[in-house]
Amino acid sequence: MPAISAATGAAPPPAKVVVEDIYGFLRVLDDGTVLRSAAEPAFCSTTFPDSHPSVEWKEIVYDKAKSLRVRMYRPSAAAGGNKLPVLVHFHGGGFCLGSCTWANVHAFCIRLAAEAGAVVLSAGYRLAPEHRLPAAVDDGAGFLRWLREQSANPAAGADAWLAEAADFGRVFVTGDSAGGTIAHHLAVRAGLAAASTTKRGEPGPDVDPVTVRGYILLMPFFGGVRRTRSEAECPAEVLLNLDLFDRFWRLSLPASATRDHPAANPFGPDSPDLAAADVRPVLVVAGGLDMMRDRAVDYAQRLAAMGKPVELAEFAGEPHGFYTLDPGSEAAGELIGLVSRFVRSCCVAAPKG
């Protein structure tokens, strides 16, 4: 017999049960309530400085309706009208966690701007499970529309601080983990649209005021029902393990969808045909100790087999997200050097239209 409340004479409401828990930072109750911790996870702390003498930064809201923010970083080299390439960056977190304001994301973007000599735009997006996929990808596309407005209307409310530093004809979309997956989907959307435009004989994408020259996928967060070897061999005791990634997919994919859903698996049964997409150059970064390693390598190899312009770089001894786990590391510096070379090569190969 249920207990009776002395105050009301009625049975108290049943206790709510936590059905999903991601290290206490995100909990989902059995009634659908989502509880988020305001604190940053411990792994977001970093000893890397949160400022740099040659980099200025500021934060603004780019989508007021959705309360989405962007942190913008520009090197002092942009002074005097010296326009720099733009790196649009999307953070990781399994589509469920993360923010452009987290200390480790901020530190990485500071170093990226300083050492790559680029304007870095670290854009936020809506998180699951409150906003399941494809919300994050739609927000990524929305940010590129916002960027286009900044370039097309310099006298109509555009951000002068950004406009005076950014070369909108040299834009690159980069993302870490889930952010890398967003970059993939944006590349495919643009590639399929470009292929359709070319087929109809219409002007190509270089007439657009914002020209995306390439995409950089840093250890992209891909999934699939069938396990890869690196997934199956992932130790359960590591922080970023298979169980955690499965929870991310359960919380971020449309209800009842499997990991073969197009949002997760680029080569799933219902995924777009990448062979038909006119994809701009892609740099894929994999880590030898990353559980996602095999999927990233397979992705790059399949694109290459389709004749797409893709480069694969593997950091043999590094785990998932090593550049944000330790933004000041030597390996993070090597990664930034790799990104810089990729940007230069794309700009030489494809001069501004």
What is the per-residue pLDDT across 225-242, written as a single tens digit (0 to 9) for each? 999 999 999 998 888 899
- Is 28 part of a structural domain of the chain? no
Q: How far lies 104's CA from each of 95, 99, 244, 343, in Å?
A: 17, 10, 20, 23
Instruction: At 44, list the tokens.
Output: 């977001």
Residues with active-site annotation = 177, 290, 320
> How far is residue 154's CA from residue 174's CA, in Å, rounded to a whole number?
24
- Is 284 part of a structural domain of the chain? yes
> How far is residue 80's CA from residue 89's CA, in Å, rounded to a whole number?
25
| pLDDT confidence of residue 157 | 59
- Is 200 part of a structural domain of the chain? yes
| pLDDT confidence of residue 98 | 95
| pLDDT confidence of residue 8 | 47
- Is 2 part of a structural domain of the chain? no
| pLDDT confidence of residue 196 | 78
Q: What is the pTM of this model?
A: 0.91
Low-confidence ranges of the chain (pLDDT < 70): 1-14, 42-43, 45, 78-80, 154-157, 198-209, 349-353
- Is 206 part of a structural domain of the chain? yes
| pLDDT confidence of residue 195 | 85
| pLDDT confidence of residue 50 | 78
Instruction: At 59, list the tokens.
Output: 């934060």
Domain span at 182: 44-346
- Is 89 part of a structural domain of the chain? yes
Q: How many folded domains does the chain comprise? A: 1
Could you tell me the CATH number of the domain that includes residue 287? 3.40.50.1820
- Is 36 part of a structural domain of the chain? no
| pLDDT confidence of residue 48 | 73
